Amino acid sequence: MAIKNVVFDLGNVLVDFDPPAYLLKCGFNAETAAHLLADVFSGAWQKGDAGDYLTVRALRDDLCKSHPAQKKAIRRALRPDCVRMHVLRPAVADWLCDLKKSGCRVYLLSNLAKYSHDYVRGYPFFRVLDGAVFSYRERVCKPDERIYRILLERYALVPEETVFLDDSAENVAAAERCGMQAIVFTDLAAAKAQLEALLQRESSFDGKGNDA
């Protein structure tokens, strides 16, 4: 079947998401940054992605209660504008728009908290999307196969006609188990080349697997 749909992850595909760099920029020393990475960005942040926290303040206040010794650092790290660490990758966004212009349908499938979504949805590429599924709304995160099936069913996507791009090999493997073709996103040039190879391969066969 011809490729008709391209599904993008958000973090580290369409936007940079680098908590270690963010914490260094905030001026934390290595020891404090390590604690914050373990307690915030490797734990509670994922709870936000799952919809447990709807605001940065709710996340921050809960963490301050559970980690009182780190209260000052947590408040400093989780300022209301911390969502600005989601920095647009313009070249990838332009590629998404080019795919849309070429006739592909384009979608997002992202583990994302509401407060992060409220910020990133202002990026212009959101206006050309054919659909999007976010973990905080569904209360389930990748690589749980349920969220992939939500995407496929909601937008009536044929898995074999769909390519998924994600920076996580684990998330890519889950997409493949759901019948999609998938690419581990490492950089834009490599992703373009891999998608182009898939498009060319699919266009060279008819529906019966014979040369068209």
Phi, psi of 164 (to 5 degrees): -115, 135
Cβ neighbour number for residue 193 with a 10 Å cutoff: 11
| pLDDT over 70 percentage in the chain | 94
pLDDT at 207: 53
CATH fold for domain 5-15+86-203:
Rossmann fold (3.40.50)
Token pair listed for 43: 């734990």
* Per-residue model confidence as pLDDT tens digits over 42-61: 788 899 999 999 999 999 99
| C-alpha triplet 106, 96, 201: angle, nearest 5° | 75
* Per-residue model confidence as pLDDT tens digits over 111-130: 999 999 999 999 999 999 99
Cβ neighbour number for residue 158 with a 10 Å cutoff: 12
pTM reported for the whole predicted model: 0.92
Token pair listed for 198: 């898939």
- Say if CB 166 and CB 182 are below 8 A apart: yes
Give the start-to-end residue ranges of the domains of the chain: 5-15+86-203, 18-85
Q: Per-residue confidence at 212, pLDDT binned at 50, 70, 90?
A: very low
Q: What is the distance of C-alpha 35 from the center of its chain?
A: 24
* Per-residue model confidence as pLDDT tens digits over 167-206: 999 999 999 999 999 999 999 999 999 999 998 877 665 5
3-class DSSP state for residue 171?
A: helix
